[in-house]
Structure 1
Amino acid sequence: MAASKRVIYLDNASTSWPKAPNVASTMADYLNTEAANPGRGAHAMALASEKMIGDARALIANLLNAEAPERIVFGLNASDALNTAIFGVVDAASRDSDTRPHVVSTYLEHNSIRRPLNSLEQRGIIELTRVEADANGLLCPDAIASAVKPNTVLVAFTHASNVLGAVQPLPEIVKAVRQTPAGESALVLTDSSQTVGAVPIDVQECGVDLLAAPGHKGLLGPTGTGLLYVSPRAYDPDRTDDGRPIRMVNFKSGGTGTDSATPTQPVELPVYFEAGTPNTVGIAGLAAGVRYVVEHGVEQIWDHEQRLVRQLADLLSSDSRITLHGCSSHNDSNIPRVGLLSITVAGVDPGEASAWLDATYGVAVRPGLHCAPGAHESTGTFPAGTIRISPGPFTTEQEIEIAARAVREMADSMAV
């Protein structure tokens, strides 16, 4: 019998919902009282907008332990940040050498890494090597290091697969890359779309050069917000004057609100990578989301989401019709995971299953390829994909119980 039609939202790997308390009200208050253009005037509202953005940068810099707030570059989303990093590094390398740059990536990647790299490879601008993950979705640091060549300029990979959920050993991968002959020149970029705000990250401790993340997932902010952490190794404004090779350049130029007389984009951070009027209203909401994450603790949020995924896996694992992908890692404490579980049901199309769960139980999940076809090819779920179930900070154990019951009833109703 169908349960209440209230929404049980289990699509947090796509975007978080509900948002953190005060996100909506903070955005409305800002829009109604202070929404002037920052850095483009001396009046009180413009100055207040500038301060709000500076405070938001500082919050995120503290969360990630970045060297300085200006090393947090705001953008539209993680795809925007990843494009800034990928094209910026490849363009700089192409200018500095006659050798075609080489990039190392993996088969797990979301299209936000996969498509820019495919485009660059197809245009003959880069060489590209992709590394396989194991059955749990884990990358081997030595395998990545073995793919590095003398002309490697970038190693780009997901911090946690949005299909299989295993958190990659980021410090170990960075260390392995650094120990290769090209390690001192190659930059390491991680797509942390599934981990920032949901998994503790210290960018200085792990040594990553570039980190991209959305504001609307683990940070519990609104869509239309994202960030790129840029390390001193990746971009140092002083390199423009002292003759050292520049490792990353911008590919967007425009208004900055200050230093308007300069004929090209000012080299200082963050404006070197930010052009035009920022999404001030979105950044105000993002700051409210980050404050919630900081106040409640990333470790506590991570523990909560991992516990819910283990609960869900336990409730579904005994049903022979249901396959849990990457399942061997769900009860292995040595393999850290983010809060998502991908499943398939024998003989049932994931899209049809998702529609049934929503219509019958109000359970919102995400079917298909999740913009990561390579991960599905590796796990044998291409082209139909999987049913991805992703709890969030506000999901309850009772909701997981209802979702598991709904999946089993869907299998009863639809499975061959």
Structure 2
Amino acid sequence: IVHASNVTGTVQPIEAIAAASADHPALLLVDGAQTVGHWPVDVQQLGCDLLAAPGHKGLLGPTGTSFLYAAPQALEKLQPLRWGGTGTASDSDEPPRDAPAAYEAGNANVPGLLGLGAGIAYVAERSVKRIAAEAMSRVQELLAGLEDLSHVVVYGASIDDPQRVGVVSFNVQGFDPQEVAVLLDQMAGIQVRAGFHCAPRMHDALQTAELGGTVRVSFGPFNQTADVRRLLEVLSELGSA
């Protein structure tokens, strides 16, 4: 289950879900792609069995990097999908049986891991709580400004909901989402993503599938209030186009 929606930014109540499913034999795997590095994450508090996250998003690492957290009870049930050497215990015919080596057959992506380590160090120094608070400020600034634009339809949680990450989805009436993305790029150099965001079922629920999905703004640790103001200016101009 996703920790936070990559369409609306809503953070899911993983603790409650974990408690409700505690007696079920299935493992609870949390997709932390939208929260790790963006939002304080404590796997002990969440109570999940597994949590996976990419390195290239909130952790600011290179593409092709990721990690999987596995609780002790999960490791007892998991089996490696790929067997092979890891550069350790090379005098044995048997591959390593202990975690994490048992799940890391082959050569490690050393350049990628070094880059990921640098990204994690920056995020840790900056503080995830601070990054989350700053992203929430950008979200509130954007949502407050969008309230004054009657031609823009916003989807997801309200401006007062603290359980969200720095993601906002909307549509501009009279424009296809892809068209809005191109115009934002051409008019102001603003990069957004348009379409279904690899979450077609969410767009069915939001009733945005027939509209071509949504325009999604994702705030990172380097966005400032000036970026939000410029975005609102361009969206306002589109309303009078």
Q: Same fold (TM over 0.5)?
A: yes
Mean Cα displacement is larger for which, 288-297 or 263-272?
Answer: 263-272
CA distance in 2, matches of 1:280, 1:338: 30
Does the 8 A contact of 1:253 with 1:264 survive in 2?
A: no
Are 2:75 and 1:219 aligned? Answer: no
Q: 1:287 aligns with which of 92, 117, 129?
A: 117
CA 1:266–1:323 in 2, change beyond 3 Å: closer, same or farther?
A: same
Shift of 1:263: 4.0
Larger Rg: 1
Shift of 1:213: 0.3
Does the 8 A contact of 1:357 with 1:410 survive in 2?
A: no
Q: Secondary structure at the match of 1:172?
A: helix
Shift of 1:261: 4.4
Q: 1:367 aligns with which of 178, 194, 218?
A: 194
Shift of 1:347: 2.1
Q: Secondary structure at the match of 1:233?
A: helix
**What is the match of residue 18 of structure 2?**
174
CA distance in 2, matches of 1:275, 1:406: 50
CA distance in 1, matches of 2:26, 2:121: 34
Shift of 1:412: 2.6
CA distance in 2, matches of 1:220, 1:281: 14
Q: Secondary structure at the match of 1:229?
A: strand
TM-score of the pair, normalised by structure 2: 0.95
**What is the match of residue 318 of structure 1?**
148
What code does the residue aligned with 2:134 have?
A: H
Does the 8 A contact of 1:214 with 1:225 survive in 2?
A: yes
Are 2:3 and 1:163 aligned? Answer: no
Does the 8 A contact of 1:219 with 1:293 survive in 2?
A: yes
Are 2:85 and 1:255 aligned? Answer: yes
Shift of 1:264: 4.6
**What is the match of residue 210 of structure 1?**
50
Kindly report the root-mean-square deviation, in angstroms, between the aligned alpha carbons of the 2 structures: 1.4
**What is the match of residue 235 of structure 2?**
407
Q: Secondary structure at the match of 1:186?
A: coil
CA distance in 2, matches of 1:167, 1:265: 39
Task: Structure 1: state its 5+ residue gaps.
Answer: 1-156, 237-246
Shift of 1:381: 0.9
Are 2:173 and 1:346 aligned? Answer: yes
**What is the match of residue 132 of structure 2?**
302
CA 1:353–1:267 in 2, change beyond 3 Å: closer, same or farther?
A: same
Task: Structure 2: state its 5+ residue gaps.
Answer: none
- 1:104-143 maps to which residues of 2 (within 5 A)? none
**What is the match of residue 329 of structure 1?**
158
What code does the residue aligned with 1:342 have?
A: S
What code does the residue aligned with 1:306 have?
A: M
Q: How many residues align?
A: 240
Identity of aligned residues (%): 43
Does the 8 A contact of 1:221 with 1:288 survive in 2?
A: yes
**What is the match of residue 234 of structure 1?**
74
CA distance in 1, matches of 2:148, 2:200: 28
Q: Which runs of 4+ in 1 moved over 6 A?
A: none
CA distance in 2, matches of 1:412, 1:231: 54
CA distance in 1, matches of 2:69, 2:37: 14
Q: Deviations over 1:151-186 (max 9, x none)?
A: xxxxxx0000000111111111111111xxx42x22
- 1:376-391 maps to which residues of 2 (within 5 A)? 376-383=203-210, 384-391=212-219
TM-score of the pair, normalised by structure 1: 0.56
CA distance in 2, matches of 1:219, 1:306: 18
What code does the residue aligned with 2:72 have?
A: P
